Amino acid sequence: MKIAILGYGTIGKGVFQIACENPHLQVVKILEREERFDQNYLDLFTSNVDEIVNNQEIELVVEVLGGYTFAEDAIEKCLKAGKHVVTANKEVIAIDIENLLALAKTNNVSLAYEASVGGGIPIIKNLKEIKKVNKISKITGILNGTTNYILTKMFEGNTFEEALLDAQKKGFAESDPTADLEGYDMMRKIAILSDLAFDTYIDINQIPQKGIKEISKEVVDEAKKNNQVIKFVCSAKLEENKLSVEVKPEYFPNNHFFASVNNEFNAVILETYPNDELIFIGKGAGSLPTSSAIIADIIDIKDNLYLENYQNINKYEINK
């Protein structure tokens, strides 16, 4: 399958590396808007997205640009041009999923977004599988690798600033880490999971959020004294037709499962009926885990295995 990659940052490079290792995939174009072209593969690079949109031999486009406006526009153009799209873009999916899925349907192509939530954890696919039989009543997640890394390191004695710098160097943080630290990134991720789990559409502006900036060394020391950890979590709970969604730092006893989820690892706990509690854990940020989720989506589409089963059929009162 001939594919193109939009974006050549941390994730784009990982996708290119893993795609090159797969004999069934051929990367034929890479968009790098700032022209930071890789000299070893100069013929693959372009700074003009239309060269990809209008290239008839490209069947599938991977969007790993980040940001909203340009990325959303590029995804729309690719879908309209009859190309499948695989994206890791949480912002675009959380805000525009209805429109993009409709566009994909009209143009008879797939839009896949496994990598937008939980990095390498196949949580979207598992949710689809679980939904075949189960009713999901609650999702709780540690879904931001950067802040989980920072909190882990602070509990190990590092300062907030040291830990943030380290997370940025390792390629976990957003280009502007405000989205990680204030919880906007997790608002998008819990909205994406809730949309799918509850067949609804959540307006992310309705999700209350509190960031981690107030967690000082003193707060961490006090928690340690009480045999607790602090984790930055998101949750969505459906009860009597009302959906309560929130993002905030929370205390957990040292023997809680979340206390063992450290560094850039993410975790999701699902409360379901009849399958009861289900737990997922894996690396939630970083080039290769995220690329693994992207390549898996590509292979599903190539093999005609991609099943879209999200429907916006339920209207819930949120946080009322």
CB of 116 to ligand HSE, least distance (A): 7
Q: Which stretch binds ligand HSE (CB under 6 A): 133-141, 143-151, 224-232, 243-251?
A: 143-151
- Is 210 a known active-site residue? no
Number of residues that bind ligand HSE (CB under 6 A): 11
Task: Select from 59, 185, 147, 64 the least CA-distant residue to 113.
Answer: 64
Q: Which residue is nearest to ligand HSE (CB)?
A: 146
Q: Quote the least distance from Cβ 320 to ligand HSE, whole Å.
A: 29
* Distance separating alpha carbons of residues 317 and 239, to the nearest angstrom: 10
Stretch that binds ligand HSE, among 32-40, 133-141, 144-152, 243-251 (CB under 6 A): 144-152
3-class SS of residue 80: helix
* Residue placing its CB nearer to ligand HSE in the complex, 194 or 272: 194
Q: Which of residues 156-215 bind ligand HSE (CB under 6 A)?
A: 172-174, 180, 185
Of residues 274-293, those binding ligand HSE (CB under 6 A): 284-285
Q: How far is the CB of 88 from ligand HSE (least distance, A)?
A: 7
| Amino acid residing at 231 | K
d(CA 59, CA 303): 13
283: left (phi over 0), alpha (psi -120 to 50) or beta: beta
Q: What's the angle, vertex CA 304, arms to CA 116 and CA 10, rounded to 5?
A: 30
Smaller CB separation from ligand HSE, 228 or 287: 287
Helices (H), 58-118: 69-80, 90-106
Q: One of 13, 29, 90, 189 is an active-site residue; which one?
A: 189
Q: How do beta strands 135-142 and 265-273 pair?
A: antiparallel
- Of 185 and 246, CB closest to ligand HSE: 185
CB of 278 to ligand HSE, least distance (A): 21
Stretch of residues binding ligand HSE (CB under 6 A), selected from 30-38, 142-150, 190-198, 293-301: 142-150
Binding residues among 93-122 for ligand HSE as defined by CB under 6 A: 119
Residues, the chain: 320
Name which of 27 and 285 has its Cβ closer to ligand HSE: 285
Q: Locate tokens 């994730």: which residue?
A: 11
Closest distance of CB 305 from ligand HSE, Å: 24
**CB of 68 vs ligand HSE, minimal distance in Å:** 15
* 261, 161 Cβ separation under 8 angstroms: no
Tell me which of 10, 144, 228, 287 binds ligand HSE, using CB under 6 A. 144
CA distance 307 to 92: 20
Shorter beta-carbon distance to ligand HSE: residue 52 or 284? 284
Alpha-helical regions (H) of 156-272: 160-169, 178-181, 184-198, 217-225
Toward ligand HSE, which CB reaches closer, 7 or 284?
Answer: 284
Can residue 146 be called a binding residue for ligand HSE (CB under 6 A)? Answer: yes
Alpha helices in the chain (DSSP H): 10-20, 49-53, 69-80, 90-106, 123-131, 145-155, 160-169, 178-181, 184-198, 217-225, 287-302
Nearer to ligand HSE, 92 or 285 (CB): 285
CA dist list (Å): 157 to 22, 42, 54, 147, 224: 42, 45, 53, 15, 11
What are the residue numbers of the active site?
189
Residue ranges that bind ligand HSE, judged by CB under 6 A: 119, 144-146, 172-174, 180, 185, 284-285
